[in-house]
Amino acid sequence: MKIKIFPRLEKGDLIGVAAPCAGFDPSRLNQGIASLKQLGFAVRIPEQIYEKKRYLAGEDLCRAEVINQLAADPDVKGIICARGGFGAMRMLAHLDWDLIKTHPKLFVGFSDATALLTSVMQQAGLGVVHGPNLVSLAVPDAPTLDAFFAAVTGTLTGVTADDGICLKPGQAKGVLAGGNLATLVHLLGTRFAPDFSGTVLFLEDVGEPAYKIDRMLSQMKMAGLFTQVSGVVTGEFCQCDQKEYLPEIFEDIFAEYNIPVLMGLASGHGRTNLSLAMGWQVLLDADAGFVQWLKQK
C-alpha cells in the first residue's frame, strides 16, 4: 500500500462532518462537536447529514455528495464521520476519487467507516486516522481525547498494549492499515477490496462470537490477504461470545507466517478508543507490546 500524503490538522482548522454510515443521535453529535471545539477546531455541519433512509443517514448518493462537497471545499481541512453502524460501502462508488486525491483532507472514523478509510488510502493514496467517530467523542475519556488530538495533528509517537498478549514474538515495520474486521471482509471481491501488502495490519470488532471471527479471518487468509503482511496487531473485540478462544484462533490463523502478532491495543469499540494514524510507517514490537510511529522522510 503506497501512501503519498498524510494530511495533518492544526488548531483552528475547519473539520467537516460527514455521515457515510447509519443515522445518529443528534444530541450525542452535538456533544461530539463540543469536544472538537474544546480541542481548538472549527466544525462545519452540512444539513444533509440529518436525512434518513431506513437505518442509513440518507440516500447513498446524498451521503457521498456530502463527502464530495467537503473534499472540494478549500476551507475544510479534515472530514470526520458522524458514526458507524452500516452504510459506508454502499456509497463508495459515488465518491469522486480524483477530487479526493487532488484535494487531500484528513479522514477520521472507525467501525463501519473502515470501508471509507481503507478506500481513501487505496484509491487516493492518503493517510487517515482510525479513531472515534463524532458521536464517540460525546463523552470521551482522557486517553481517547489525548490520542485523538495527537493522531490528527501528526504528533502521535506510539501506543502501548498495557494488557496485551504477544502471540508471536518479533518486530516488524510497515504502513499501518486495517480496521473493523467484518467491514474489511465484506469488501472482498469488490473493486474496493483491501490490499495489505507490506502493512502492519490492525484488526478489531464488536458483537461477533468467536466462531464468526474465526470464519472471517479464515476467509481473508484463503483470499491471500495475509501473505505479504509484515505484522499483525489487534484492538479490542468487545461484546464477543467465547472471547477466551480468540488468542488461540489468531495463533492458528497466523501460525504459518513468520510475522509478529500482538493482541490487545485499547483501540476500537471499548471505553477507551486510542486513535491510530494509518498510512504512516510504524514499528510493531510484539515482545514489548507497543506500536511506534516512525519519523517520516
204 is catalytic: yes
Domains of the chain (ranges, CATH numbers): 14-152 (3.40.50.10740), 158-293 (3.50.30.60)
Give the per-residue pLDDT at 181. 98
Distance, in Å, from the CA atom of 53 to the CA atom of 66, rounded to the nearest integer, reads 15
Is 35 labeled as catalytic in the residue annotation? no
Query: pLDDT (tens digit, 9 = 90+) per residue, 255-269?
Result: 999 999 999 999 999
204-257 pLDDT, tens digit each = 999 999 999 999 999 999 999 999 999 999 999 999 999 999 999 999 999 999
DSSP string covering 123-146: HH-B-EEE---GGGGSS--HHHHH
As a 3-state breakdown, the chain gives helix, strand, coil percent values, each rounded to 5, of: 35, 25, 40
Alpha-helical segments (H) within the chain:
26-38, 60-72, 97-102, 114-124, 142-152, 181-186, 210-222, 246-254
Task: Count CB-CB contacts under 10 A for residue 258.
Answer: 8
pLDDT digits (tens, 9 = 90+) for 12-62: 999 999 999 999 999 999 999 999 999 999 999 999 999 999 999 999 999
pTM: 0.97
Q: Which of 111, 119, 230, 275 is catalytic?
A: 111
* Residue 295 pLDDT: 81
| pLDDT greater than 80 at residue 296 | no
What single letter denotes the amino acid at residue 1? Answer: M
Diameter over CA atoms, the chain: 50
What's the rounded mean pLDDT across residues 91-102? 98
Tell me if residue 111 is catalytic: yes
Percent of the chain with pLDDT over 90: 97
Q: Could you say which of 204, 230, 236, 275 is catalytic?
A: 204
Residue 1 has pLDDT above 90, yes or no: no
Distance CA 40, CA 13 (A): 8
pLDDT over 70 (residue 297): no
**Among 133, 156, 117, residue whose Cα is nearest residue 35:** 133
